Chain A
Amino acid sequence: MDILALLDPQILASTIRLSVPLLLPCLAGLFSERAGVFDIGLEGKMLLSAFFSAAVAFQTGSVWLGLLAGVAASMVLAAVHGVASITFRGNQLISGVALNFLAAGMTVLIAQSWFQQGGRTPSLIGGARFTPITLPFASDDATGLGYFYSEVISGHSLLTYFAFLCVPLTWWVLYQTRFGLRLRAVGESPEAVDTAGVSVIGLRFAAVAICGLLCGLAGAYLATALQAGFVKDMTAGRGYIALAALIFAKWRPWYALMATLLFGYLQALSLRPDSIEAALGFSVQVQLLDALPYILTVVILAGFVGRAIPPRAGGEAYVKER
């Protein structure tokens, strides 16, 4: 038995890589749901962005143009969600489900039409991808803490570092700015915000737009940093795991970081079943590891580990009183 095998630097580094496409949509959902707009459509927005960022990056050879296209595509979908659920006061959950299907279908349809490779984009090379950055002072022959720094912290893409920077940023926006205060208020008690003379609809659209932006970054990360190109259904349920992490974190930014790191770690472990066997002396079913984030979320929802209380006005369209 060797418990340290579970803390193998390779596994930790891949935890960080796999956490990013959970962390960004989790924070995206946090903005949206804190403002009272439920969003099941994180998955779809990420998927659409993944495709458009890969497609544009391939055509232009520039990963930055790809990123821009991905974010734009994701924000278009967010706008549709906003129009359906804020302007027309439609069911937010149904709208999210619809947009997920729309994204799943459209990406394959367009990919087939543009590239004829069975719903994928060609592989991205060179400047069409985000490449790993070696942080200053990182070296291959460091020891101790320096080794950890060089192997685990260093060597990720720019988007990865930006994603982790988004956590304090989100905290600051939500808790230290007037916009954040209003945004949280609109998710708890929109009538109070309305009475104060602030636009409920404007705030909610702003939140939905931020959600689109962050999902767009996540999609671009998947297709241009984590992998080299788009493949059909490449989000693989990450939007839903992010939702689970959001509940797990009880709609708070720092907890969201911890929840997504935990889920990312579970994903990293299920890629390396040999290390679990080395650490615990017995093998764990891969299927159990795959299902663990979902099981944990159900346990949280059941209230065994403290209650997760969603924003009070979540899921309800606001109707001005007359």
Chain B
Amino acid sequence: MQKMPHWADVVLIPVISLLLAAAISALVILGIGENPVAAVTLMVKGALGSTYGWGYTLYYVTNFIFTGLCVSVAFHARLFNIGGEGQAMLGGLGVALACLYIPWPHWTVAVVGAGLASAAFGALWALLPAILQAKRGSHIVITTIMFNFIAAALLNYFLVNALRPKGAMEPASAKFPAATNLPTLHELLAPLGINFSKAAPANVTLLIAMLACVLVWLLIWRTRLGYEIRAFGHSQTAANYAGINATKITVITMLISGGLAGMMAINNVMGEAERLVLNSVEGAGFIGIAVALMGRNHPFGVFLAAILFGFLYQGGAELALWTSIPRELIVVIQGLVILFTGALDNMVRMPLERIFMRLNKGGA
């Protein structure tokens, strides 16, 4: 017997968890002597009040869709990929190499080539942890954390020693050629008669991210591989008994997961910075964990959760600009969301289940 209707599981629990996280965040804001209502108003105005704000919000949304999908695909196979940060860093390296060393004729071709490079580099960075998990049983959480640090050191090395133009002081690559620059939402929406902000970084990658959501949904629920991934996640022994190869599924799932994280680089490296800089990922790989948990590992849920976090991120930046509340407020909210939707799930679930059980008994 189902303890709870399906809608309560997918909608009610995340919403209650979110409200709990929001309530505690409000207390935190009160605690540092600021007004939570004024803060939220400012965030809404800053993130959604102008096309400039929307342009930044959607830029962050694009990042978080990719990293959120990365974490959620791995979650379906019950693998916890904390390595999205490092995989996205390596994706950035792939994009940079592709943009700098291949003479692309037009951005449409470049985005395909650089996109493939980013996915390949991201997937490669997830390959070794995947193999170690499958063959040696070494915990993927630990290995992916280690690979985040190794990626940071590797990127640092590349930017300082190899990609930095001669004479430049800053550890960053040269500017990518103009033919690889992606059209921004301003350029895309102008023909439709919509005047979108010119300065905001949101670009065509948003559409690629939305396409990725659809593709991931197709993969997980409409293909044989997706079925195998889910079966493996539900019960490894049962999947094994059904002839599903554990090593193969672990490695393939992690390759897809790492590839998705890597593709984030199309947005932040190719679309926004148009060159590779240190720390270009800015923690988006970790926000993907919150996004995936919040979105219940469903691509549509990830899309919605990414919008929420995009709003929080841009709103938080505005807060830091206009008040004395530092940007780190968003890190607190992120931690609370992960805590309530991920770790304290049962705290919300158990009382709700009891309520529904009682309602069912009363109805019958």
| A101 & B334 in contact (Cβ 8 Å cutoff) | yes
Cβ–Cβ < 8 Å partners of A116 in chain B: 324
| Contact of A89 (CB < 8 Å), options: B145, B336, B346 | B346
- Bound-complex Cα distance A222 to B38 (A): 37
- Bound-complex Cα distance A92 to B28 (A): 24
- Bound-complex Cα distance A97 to B290 (A): 10
Q: Which residue of B lies closest to A243 (CB)?
A: B142
| B153 & A290 in contact (Cβ 8 Å cutoff) | yes
| Contact of B339 (CB < 8 Å), options: A102, A104, A109 | A102
Contact string against B for A residues 281-311, beta-carbon threshold 8 Å, 1 for contact and 0 otherwise: 0000101101100110110011100011010
| B153 & A291 in contact (Cβ 8 Å cutoff) | yes
| A66 at interface by CB-CB < 8 Å | no
| B157 & A301 in contact (Cβ 8 Å cutoff) | no
| B138 & A302 in contact (Cβ 8 Å cutoff) | yes
| A287 & B346 in contact (Cβ 8 Å cutoff) | no
- Bound-complex Cα distance A293 to B342 (A): 30
| A301 & B136 in contact (Cβ 8 Å cutoff) | yes
Cβ–Cβ < 8 Å partners of A168 in chain B: none
| B147 at interface by CB-CB < 8 Å | yes
Contact of A109 with B347 at beta-carbon distance under 8 Å, contacts A98-B342, A240-B149, A297-B146 already known: no
Contact string against A for B residues 129-150, beta-carbon threshold 8 Å, 1 for contact and 0 otherwise: 0001000101101110111011
- Bound-complex Cα distance A98 to B289 (A): 9
Q: Which residue of B lies closest to A90 (CB)?
A: B343
| B338 & A94 in contact (Cβ 8 Å cutoff) | yes
Contact string against A for B residues 152-165, beta-carbon threshold 8 Å, 1 for contact and 0 otherwise: 01101100110000
Cβ–Cβ < 8 Å partners of B339 in chain A: 80, 84, 95, 98-99, 102
| A134 at interface by CB-CB < 8 Å | no
| B28 & A90 in contact (Cβ 8 Å cutoff) | no
Q: Which of A68-101 contact B (CB under 8 A)?
A: 80, 83-85, 88-95, 97-101
- Bound-complex Cα distance A112 to B328 (A): 10
Q: Which residue of B lies closest to A114 (CB)?
A: B32
Q: How far is the CB of A174 from chain B (nearest CB, A)?
A: 22
Q: How far is the CB of A108 from chain B (nearest CB, A)?
A: 4
| B331 at interface by CB-CB < 8 Å | yes
| B80 & A93 in contact (Cβ 8 Å cutoff) | yes
| B238 at interface by CB-CB < 8 Å | no
Contact of A302 with B150 at beta-carbon distance under 8 Å, contacts A94-B338, A95-B339, A112-B324 already known: no
Q: Which of B147-184 contact A (CB under 8 A)?
A: 147, 149-150, 153-154, 156-157, 160-161
| Contact of A95 (CB < 8 Å), options: B141, B147, B343 | B343
Most A CB contacts (10 A, CB to CB) among B132, B161, B342 go to B342
Cβ–Cβ < 8 Å partners of A92 in chain B: 343
- Bound-complex Cα distance A80 to B339 (A): 10
- Bound-complex Cα distance A109 to B33 (A): 11
Q: How far is the CB of A81 from chain B (nearest CB, A)?
A: 8
| B141 & A93 in contact (Cβ 8 Å cutoff) | yes
| B58 at interface by CB-CB < 8 Å | no
Q: Which of B73-118 contact A (CB under 8 A)?
A: 80, 82
Q: Which of A232-257 contact B (CB under 8 A)?
A: 237, 240, 243-244, 247
Cβ–Cβ < 8 Å partners of B334 in chain A: 101, 105
| B335 at interface by CB-CB < 8 Å | yes
| A113 at interface by CB-CB < 8 Å | yes
| B23 at interface by CB-CB < 8 Å | no
Q: How far is the CB of B67 from chain A (nearest CB, A)?
A: 14
- Bound-complex Cα distance A105 to B319 (A): 15
- Bound-complex Cα distance A308 to B142 (A): 12
Q: Which residue of B lies closest to A84 (CB)?
A: B343
| A106 at interface by CB-CB < 8 Å | yes
- Bound-complex Cα distance A50 to B132 (A): 35
| B344 at interface by CB-CB < 8 Å | yes
| B219 at interface by CB-CB < 8 Å | no
| A185 at interface by CB-CB < 8 Å | no
| Contact of B335 (CB < 8 Å), options: A98, A291, A297, A302 | A98
Q: Which residue of A lies closest to B157 (CB)?
A: A287
| A40 at interface by CB-CB < 8 Å | yes
| A110 at interface by CB-CB < 8 Å | yes
| A119 at interface by CB-CB < 8 Å | yes
- Bound-complex Cα distance A89 to B345 (A): 9
| A110 & B32 in contact (Cβ 8 Å cutoff) | yes
Contact of A97 with B146 at beta-carbon distance under 8 Å, contacts A105-B332, A291-B153 already known: no
| B132 & A113 in contact (Cβ 8 Å cutoff) | no
**Sampled A-B contacts (29; CB under 8 Å):** A40-B145, A84-B339, A84-B344, A88-B350, A90-B346, A94-B293, A94-B338, A94-B342, A95-B339, A97-B286, A99-B335, A101-B338, A102-B331, A102-B335, A103-B335, A105-B330, A105-B331, A108-B326, A109-B325, A113-B33, A287-B154, A288-B157, A297-B146, A298-B132, A298-B147, A301-B139, A301-B142, A301-B146, A303-B136
New contact pairs (6) apart from A40-B141, A285-B161, CB-CB < 8 Å: A97-B286, A104-B331, A105-B330, A112-B32, A240-B145, A302-B136
